[in-house]
Amino acid sequence: MVADQLLARTLNPRSIALFGTSPAQSVIEQCLKLGFTGELWPVHPTRETLAGIKCFKSVADLPSAPDVAFVAVNRNATIDVVKQLAKIGAGGAVCYASGFAESGLNGIALQEKLVTAAATMPLLGPNCYGYINALDGVALWPDQHGCKSLTSGVAIVSQSGNVGLNITLQQRGLNLAYLVTVGNQAVAGIEECLEVFINDSRVTAIGLFIEAIVDPVRFAKLAYYANKRNLRIVALQTGRSQAGAMIAASHTASLAGRRSAYEALFERCGVAMVDTPIELIETLKLLDQGGALTGNKLVSLSCSGGEASLVADLSEKTSLRFEPFSTEQHARISSTLTELVTVGNPFDYHTFMWGDRAATAKTFTQVMDGPQDATLLILDTPPRDDQDSQTWVIAAQSLGDAAQATNKRGVIVATLPECTTLAIRDAAHAANLVVLQGLHEALVALNAAAWLADNQAGDPPAQVVTALKTKLIDEADAKLMLQKNGVDVPTGVRCARSDIADMASKIGFPITLKGLGLAHKSEVGAVKVGLQNKHELDSALAMMPSEINEFLVEQTVVNVVAEVLVSIRRDAPVGWLITLGAGGVYTELWRDTTFLLAPVDDEQILGSLAKLRIAPLLNGFRGKPAGNLNALVALIQNVISTAMNNNLVEIELNPVLVTPNTAVAVDALMIATQQ
């Protein structure tokens, strides 16, 4: 397990000092409301009491060093208070004030002073809304919130205070144990929160609402520890700004944005990704109440053909599978129904037995007694107090009876999120069922939970990557370096305009002619492929831009099966991002790409290639020969090695031409660090 827990005392205090007035008073009120039984020590130079509790005049007057302090004074005074707290050995501080690094140069200097004042004392913030620990009744939170006392539940860390507040106010039945906002992360941040969560056996799952990971290697190690504890992590990553080393000259700079790098990182770390706060909440609910799914096979139950069709339609873009019942199970299910009901999956069981708990449970039991990883009951309940929803409760109870009889996992799903009642929640809770709200969000959550079953945390990225100044290496020199590192390139030579004809004769037609010194040659007519003779060569040369003085003459690769994009580049701070995709003119047209983080093994590369739309071409399409996948994988590995073992920022090969016998990099863009 993780040994270094910088925030352990900060997030689990038994004594809290409070500085400031209105925000500090709110913290006292929220702590008392949540059931905090420890010591509350407001500090104020002139007030006698705060929220009915006696004030201390200064830090020096405190009875002992507090486990944590909530500091809600102005930004300059914050530095002085933090310095005093650090000197007496306080366990940590939450710095509420803004106006630090997030506000510009002056704020950056002020934040540096704050970090110096803190010395070895951990702090959250500045520009931080605080945190809630509902397990221990702690609410260093200067506002209303929706948390309640719990014995176990999920932990969420958020870089946004307001989003954190919104999540606490959810009415979706999420058991929220920790909600920690980290602000500017001047001292402690996401990784330090993860350390505490991983070591707290009461935490059932972890959610992240983040913009960036500061140290991906450390993050990956923590994700590994979480996986060892069977503790799953779900991330909602925001922000679309350019990452370091996003070189405008490359195709992949526009294809593989910041999100793609994080997708690759999170896949490596066994962290599921979602796109909205609601998807985050629904996924965490599923993980909290039963953990990750054992696989992606589902059965859907509903008493409407429309709902059954909707489930099938919305699942098409997920990995979820609604497989037909076996002949034997089909017969067992049919034996509980009339001949008017057609048995299938998704399954419309009609309403012949609506309101009859025993009959419904009998059918549901036969449905659940199968190989699926979970069974869904689509159930939208009348939500108003003046509406009778008892028969809907009976349907939920029937699913619970079937789940208990089969010891299988059942999930109740409301197509419309508002059509879920307390009575349904109670029935589900009694039977250990989870209630998901919103059909789309439910399917996203189920897909994430199924993905987590097959994706464990792997090795961390090779290193933390920083942004660097760069320079472009021309294609001829780039190919020489690639060739020295085992990457196949066409036979070719650099030459002046006057020597092109002689070189073409020596190499042998067909040849390819390229102008050097340009990043994108095809856009300006500086590349001609498959020239068959001297006449075609002379015509092509006459059409080349007159300012080009040097050329690359190469043998043209023939018998091409597929064109593939292969790229690796530094993506600060995540690591070396590998992009594989459709190459040539189809790169930006199709945007058929997949992403990995280096290092990778051959199986991971093959798995990524199999995800591409062009995979059928590589495997032999409509009787045509297959490409040499072994050669392509070897080329990709050699490209990765070349990038990581030289002073390079990026290599983009577009295209790599795959033939039945080999894989050849016919176009190379290489960017190096500028010394």
pLDDT at residue 465 is higher than 60: no
Q: 113: exposed, middle or buried (C-beta count within 10 Å: 0-12, 13-18, 19+)?
A: middle
**pLDDT tens, residue by residue, 570-581:** 887 788 889 999
- In this predicted structure, what is the pLDDT of residue 258? 62
Residue 39 makes CB contacts below 8 A (sequence gap 6+) with 14, 15, 16, 63, 66
CA distance 246 to 81: 41
Pairing of strands 153-158, 176-181: parallel
- In this predicted structure, what is the pLDDT of residue 254? 40
Q: Which residue has the higher pLDDT, 570 or 661?
A: 661
Q: 658: exposed, middle or buried (C-beta count within 10 Å: 0-12, 13-18, 19+)?
A: buried
- In this predicted structure, what is the pLDDT of residue 263? 86
Nearest C-alpha neighbor of 291 from the set 399, 222, 374: 374
6-10, 209-213, 220-224, 466-470: segment of lowest average pLDDT: 466-470
Burial 394-409 (b: 16+ CB within 10 A, else e): bbbbbbbbbbbebebb
Q: Phi and psi for 325 in degrees, rounded to 5? A: -70, 150
Pairing of strands 131-133, 575-582: unpaired
Q: In sequence order, what E strands does 109-201 have?
A: 123-124, 131-133, 138-140, 153-158, 176-181
- In this predicted structure, what is the pLDDT of residue 102? 87
**pLDDT tens, residue by residue, 102-148:** 887 788 999 999 999 999 999 999 999 999 999 999 999 999 999 99
pLDDT at residue 228 is higher than 50: yes
- In this predicted structure, what is the pLDDT of residue 466? 54
Task: Write the DSSP symbol of residue 118.
Answer: H
224 three-class SS: helix
Mean pLDDT of all residues in 433-441: 97
Please, what is the average pLDDT of the chain?
A: 91
- In this predicted structure, what is the pLDDT of residue 516? 86
**pLDDT tens, residue by residue, 319-369:** 999 999 999 999 999 999 998 899 999 999 998 899 999 999 999 999 999
Q: Phi and psi for 237 in degrees, rounded to 5? A: -105, 130
Residue 350 makes CB contacts below 8 A (sequence gap 6+) with 303, 337, 340, 341
Nearest C-alpha neighbor of 146 from the set 118, 124, 122, 166: 166
Mean pLDDT of all residues in 639-655: 93
Residue 202 makes CB contacts below 8 A (sequence gap 6+) with 135, 151, 152, 153, 177
Q: 77: exposed, middle or buried (C-beta count within 10 Å: 0-12, 13-18, 19+)?
A: middle
Q: Which residue has the higher pLDDT, 217 or 354?
A: 354
Burial 314-335 (b: 16+ CB within 10 A, else e): bbeebebebeebeeebbebbbe
49-63, 83-97, 310-324, 458-472: segment of lowest average pLDDT: 458-472
pLDDT at residue 398 is higher than 50: yes
pLDDT at residue 586 is higher than 90: no
181 three-class SS: strand
Q: Domains in the chain, ordered, with CATH?
A: 8-238 (3.40.50.720), 298-430 (3.40.50.261), 491-555 (3.30.1490.20), 562-673 (3.30.470.20)
Tokens of 450: 């199924």
Cis peptide before 510 (omega within 30 of 0): yes
Contact at 8 Å (CB) between 319 and 296? Answer: yes
